[in-house]
Amino acid sequence: MVSIKDVAKAAGVSDKTVSRVVNREPNVSTDTVEKVRSAIDRLGYIPNLAARSIRSSRSGIVGIITDYVSTTPYSGDIVRGIQAWAEAQGRTVLLASTNGDPHREREVWRTFQAHRLDGVLHVAMYRRVVEPENGDIHIPTVLVNARPKRAGSFHSIEPDDFGGSRALARHLLELGHRRIGYIRLNPLLLGANERYEAFRETLQEAGLGQADLDVRLGMEGPIGEEENFVFRETTAMLSAPDRPSAVACGNDEMALQAYLAALQLGLRVPQDVTIVGFDDFRTISLALKPELTTVALPYFDLGWQGAEILDGVIAGPAESGRNRSLECRLVPRASSGPPHQA
């Protein structure tokens, strides 16, 4: 491996001078710079960052800790967002995952510490409350798609499921729907309740009563091995004589199953029944015909902005943790329309 000394020898200068050129320090004659540059190119010298980080005790690396394999494969976008940011900054990203095992997580923190990471993004693949198992290891940390157990103990960034769900409900109201079905997500998911509550609340404010909202549980059980009732429940819901004119689903996967149930009953989307989802999981939302009206989860931006926040924490004094909320925008497509006039 060619080192700074080799370059120095080849260029006929001291190693410190090479160092100066590499780090663009001032006070080096144009001549010398030229000589050194050419030697660097000729020898293919690349500075050893490990050696550099020993001196500066700054590695230029940020770590990502993820927990479970995603329920929504799309949540990998969070990681992409972080990466994109890191690349734009000339930083590097170290990746580790815990599989939800606290013991494993402590190991990861040790590894991160051993690499002297500048900061850590603690990413939850589904939105939830977390308590990082970092023992007594203090590395600037930001929680992404999660909030800390003890408010203020960490900076964090989350999607605004609540607002997104309100927008969705308003959309259906504006189209004229007055009898609406709702298929709930697994109650274990933090987003599940917010989405449902926002939806219910918005309809209530518009004057709809209990009886106008037909709520069914779509999934239940431990994450990753839940039972799935969506098809059965939607079929039941749409077979009833007073069936709703619109069905809102907790996410896009559920909406897919609602489509199948509706079609199997001979109902057309959206002429006979409006179906909407949540997440804008595009593999599904764009593959469905007609394409699915849904709410976009800003996964990429959660990652990117989370990284920005982390950068601030690394640089500045870490005041008490703040929580940032990211808008979830309504994405109106062809699966929603006015109710069928029976």
Q: Which of 335, 203, 224, 216 is nearest to 273 (CA)?
A: 335
φ, ψ of residue 54 to 5 degrees: the values are -60, -45
Residues 6+ apart with CB under 8 A from 60: 49, 53, 90, 91, 92, 118
Nearer to its own copies, 63 or 163 (CB): 63
Considering only residues 24, 26, 31, 44, which one is a binding residue for its own copies as defined by CB under 8 A? Answer: 44
- Residue 240 has, within 13 A of its CA and on its CB side, a CA count of 13
Nearer to its own copies, 69 or 223 (CB): 69
In 3-state terms, what secondary structure has residue 342?
coil
x/- binding map, residues 89-128, to its own copies, per CB under 8 A? Answer: ---xxxxxx------x-----xx-xxxx------------
Smallest separation, CB 39 to DNA (Å): 12
In terms of DSSP H, where are the helices of the chain? 4-11, 15-22, 30-43, 49-56, 76-89, 102-114, 161-175, 190-205, 230-239, 252-264, 282-285, 299-315
C-alpha to C-alpha distance for 26 and 285, rounded to whole angstroms: 55
**Residue 23 near which of DNA, its own copies, none (CB within 5-8 Å, type-dependent):** DNA
**Residue 89 near which of DNA, its own copies, none (CB within 5-8 Å, type-dependent):** none
Smallest separation, CB 55 to DNA (Å): 4
Nearer to DNA, 14 or 38 (CB): 14
Query: What does the buried/exposed string (b/e) look like for 300-321 if buried means 16 or more CB atoms within 10 Å of the residue's CB?
Result: bbbbbbbbbbbbbbbeeeeeeb
Tokens of 130: 């977390």
Q: Based on the shown chain and the rule CB under 8 A, indicate whether residue 87 belongs to the binding site for its own copies.
A: yes
Smallest separation, CB 194 to DNA (Å): 45
Considering only residues 157 through 216, tell me which ones interact with its own copies, judged by CB under 8 A.
Answer: none
φ, ψ of residue 171 to 5 degrees: the values are -55, -45
Considering only residues 88, 129, 240, 287, which one is a binding residue for its own copies as defined by CB under 8 A? Answer: 287
- Contact set with DNA (CB under 7 A): 1, 3-5, 12-17, 19-20, 22-23, 26-29, 31-32, 47-48, 51-52, 54-57
Q: Based on the shown chain and the rule CB under 8 A, indicate whether residue 51 belongs to the binding site for its own copies.
A: yes
Residues 6+ apart with CB under 8 A from 89: 311
**Residue 151 near which of its own copies, DNA, none (CB within 5-8 Å, type-dependent):** none
Q: Based on the shown chain and the rule CB under 8 A, indicate whether residue 80 belongs to the binding site for its own copies.
A: yes
C-alpha to C-alpha distance for 145 and 166, rounded to whole angstroms: 19
Smallest separation, CB 314 to DNA (Å): 17
CB 191 within 8 A of CB 295: no
**Parallel, antiparallel, or unpaired for β 61-66 and 180-184?**
unpaired
**Residue 44 near which of its own copies, DNA, none (CB within 5-8 Å, type-dependent):** its own copies
Considering only residues 244 through 273, tell me which ones interact with its own copies, judged by CB under 8 A.
Answer: 253, 256-257, 259-261, 263-264, 266, 268
Nearer to its own copies, 107 or 212 (CB): 107
Nearer to its own copies, 38 or 210 (CB): 38
Q: What angle do CA 259, 192, 269 make, to 5 degrees?
A: 15
The residues binding its own copies (CB under 8 A) are 1, 44, 46-51, 53-54, 57, 59, 61, 64, 69, 72-74, 76, 79-80, 83, 87, 92-97, 104, 110-111, 113-116, 136-137, 231, 253, 256-257, 259-261, 263-264, 266, 268, 281, 283-284, 287-289
